[in-house]
Amino acid sequence: MIEDAAADDAVDDVTATDGRVIGRRAIQTRRRILDTTAALLKEHGGLDLKVTDVAREVGTSPATFYQYFADVEDAILALATDLVVEVAPISAQLDDDWTGPDGPDRARRFVSDYTTFWDEHAAVLRIMLLRADERDERFRGIRRGYNAPFMTSMVAKVRSAQSVGRLTTALDAEATAGAMLAALDRLPNYREMFEKRGTTRDAMIETMARLLLSSLTGEPLS
């Protein structure tokens, strides 16, 4: 009974569509809906996935889905919001010093970890980028939050390298960071095409790591 009561305790930062703070059991249901949505997106894509598909897979009713999300895109918005937190340990790797002897290995590990993150969350990330490009303010806000740690750390790396003469001051630090982040996010979309031509995942990681290291720090990847 004590455990049941604890399970029903409200959690302050999670609400239903009507604004009510929901309890722990409801949070578990909401989580199942989100996890199922993420799994089905890999099969159906964002345009074809319907509330009934998600509800059926979860083993609940569409009415239950609508208690937590206005529609499938609302659930995708929640999944994208979660990724802002989940990607933080990877973006934090950019705060390490990449100019020492282990800098090349740090760059490789960063690109490898980010590529794996993309592999796991590609469906949601693609929709987030697409909706943001279409100027959907909800997704643009999430993309800004997602990109900010990457941009801040990359800009700092460029400016540090410029201050000691490893990179030319003709480079704009913001533009350089933006170009590198865009490459990191867009490259996975071309992987299937590259792999058909014989380019391996490891080769793409190595190439991206070399580009990042030289562009952000001026250091060669030996």
pLDDT tens per residue across span 119-139: 999 999 999 999 999 999 999
What's the pLDDT band for 23 if we cut at 50, 70, 90?
low
221 contacts 104 by C-beta, under 8 angstroms: yes
**For 158-211, what is the HEC assignment?**
HHHHHHCCCCCCCCCHHHHHHHHHHHHHHHHHHHHHHHHCCCCHHHHHHHHHHH
pLDDT value of position 19: 54
| Prediction pTM value | 0.85
CA dist list (Å): 120 to 38, 83, 116, 124: 10, 11, 6, 9
Q: Measured at the alpha carbon of residue 34, what is the angle toward residues 133 and 16, in degrees to the nearest 5?
A: 95
What are the beta bridge partners of residue 23? 10
**Residue 99 amino acid letter:** T
What's the pLDDT band for 10 if we cut at 50, 70, 90?
very low
Least confident piece of the model among 89-98, 168-177, 212-221: 212-221
Least confident piece of the model among 10-24, 91-105, 108-122, 189-203: 10-24
C-alpha 58/C-alpha 36 separation (Å) is 7
DSSP class of residue 102?
A: T
pLDDT tens for each residue of 138-185: 999 999 999 999 999 999 999 999 999 999 999 999 999 999 999 999
180 contacts 94 by C-beta, under 8 angstroms: no
> Other C-beta atoms within 10 Å of 41: how many?
23
Gap between the terminal Cα atoms of the chain: 62
Instruction: Select from 3.40.225.10, 1.10.3720.10, 3.20.20.70, 1.10.10.60 the CATH code of 2-70.
Output: 1.10.10.60
Domains in the chain: boundaries: 2-70, 83-217
Using the predicted structure, report yes or no on whether residue 5 has a pLDDT greater than 80. Answer: no
CATH number of the 83-217 domain: 1.10.357
> Other C-beta atoms within 10 Å of 205: how many?
21
What are the beta bridge partners of residue 10? 23
pLDDT value of position 214: 96
C-alpha 173/C-alpha 219 separation (Å) is 16
> Buried b / exposed e across 93-131, counting CB within 10 Å, b at 16+?
bbebebbeeebbebbbbbbbbbbebbeebebbbbbbbeb
